[in-house]
Amino acid sequence: MVTEVKRIRVLVVDDSAVMRKVIPALLDKDDSIEVVGTALDGDFALNKIEQLRPDVVTMDIEMPRMDGLSALKQIVARHSIPVVMLSSFTTRGAALTMKALEMGAVDFVCKPRGVAHVGEMAVELISKVKLAAQTRLIDLRSGARVIGTARDVKEGGVVGKVPRRLVAIGASSGGPHALRYLLPRIPADFGAGIVIVQHMPESFTAMLARWLNEICEVEVREAVSGERAVPGMVLIAPGNAHMKIKRRPGGPVVVIERGVAVNGHMPSVDVLFESVAREYKDEALGVILSGMGSDGAAGIGKMRERGAHTIAQDRESCAIYGMPRVAVEKGFIDKVVPLADMAAYIVSSVGQIQGVEAGRHADIC
């Protein structure tokens, strides 16, 4: 007797009649997904949720009557249903997407730049709906914020310090939520620069940096080729380009390069981590946060091989335990850390980052 696999029930919300046909058609290509209904705005969506009890909602952001953000607010308050937002490739679209993630959306997919390109979004949309159905809706808003003591940080980093240490972070799906929890807890006088690859499209990374900068003691901005990752500074790789690190007398310098996707991504976490492994060896800390796939595992393995200390977000606090899981299973991680403890652990580790290899011991849980 064959056991029938439960299909993922999806409600599609979009004011465009074309997209209300196209999106279900794309999702129906996967046998594990069933589109149970559509709605033309947020108000209709709330009624359909009550009737249909979907597992996942895909929702356009900009709609008449009740827009996506207003509907999302009510869905988060009244239902434990993961929501994947559909956004446009615009600055406004990126800003609204960041707001949606802040409010509780689990992920987003960019709409194609025309009906002729709709097929290009199919693979991403299907994979993110599947991941959304598995996502643990974790409330990470509580917890004390760490306030640093150096108040001259927001403009250009800690004055007069040449960093000998560097923290490299990689993240994908669920990463924006993790970064929004982690980075505000890094104190202003933190003794290392921080460089981050977060899988996101072009224009969205700049908005992500602004979104994070508003709530952090350290300065957060999208990286520009040639600038230094100084203490008190967080640099995020721009979308559609790779970020590498070069060691220079004045500190680590970022190099931004267009190229080909690595592991299906540009920017790629592996590209960043491999450059940090070459340039900073045992004076680096590698961190893998929530994300799908395996990008970053090989790179963090090279970092560890060169003497860097390596940590991963634990399963329980990850929205998607994909990237951390692969790195842990390959034996490339020194310490698995809950997100709630991550900032304190990073701050402590940077103070002890040299000589890690001599005292290294596996602490995997």
* Gap between the Cα atoms of 29 and 25, Å rounded: 7
Instruction: Give residue for tokens 């300065």.
Output: 219
| Catalytic residue (choose from 60, 282, 295, 314) | 295
Report CA-CA distances (Å) from 288 to 77, 209, 230, 294: 30, 18, 21, 10
295 is catalytic: yes
| Catalytic residue (choose from 87, 172, 203, 349) | 172
| Catalytic residue (choose from 177, 199, 265, 309) | 199
* Gap between the Cα atoms of 111 and 86, Å rounded: 6
Using an 8 Å Cβ cutoff, are 237 and 197 in contact? yes
CA atoms within a 13 Å half-sphere pointing along the CA-CB vector of 6: 7
199 is catalytic: yes
**How many Cβ atoms sit within 10 Å of the Cβ of residue 115?**
11
Amino acid at residue number 151 = R
60 is catalytic: no
**How many Cβ atoms sit within 10 Å of the Cβ of residue 51?**
10
Report CA-CA distances (Å) from 24 to 13, 63, 261: 10, 18, 28
Active site residues: 172, 199, 295
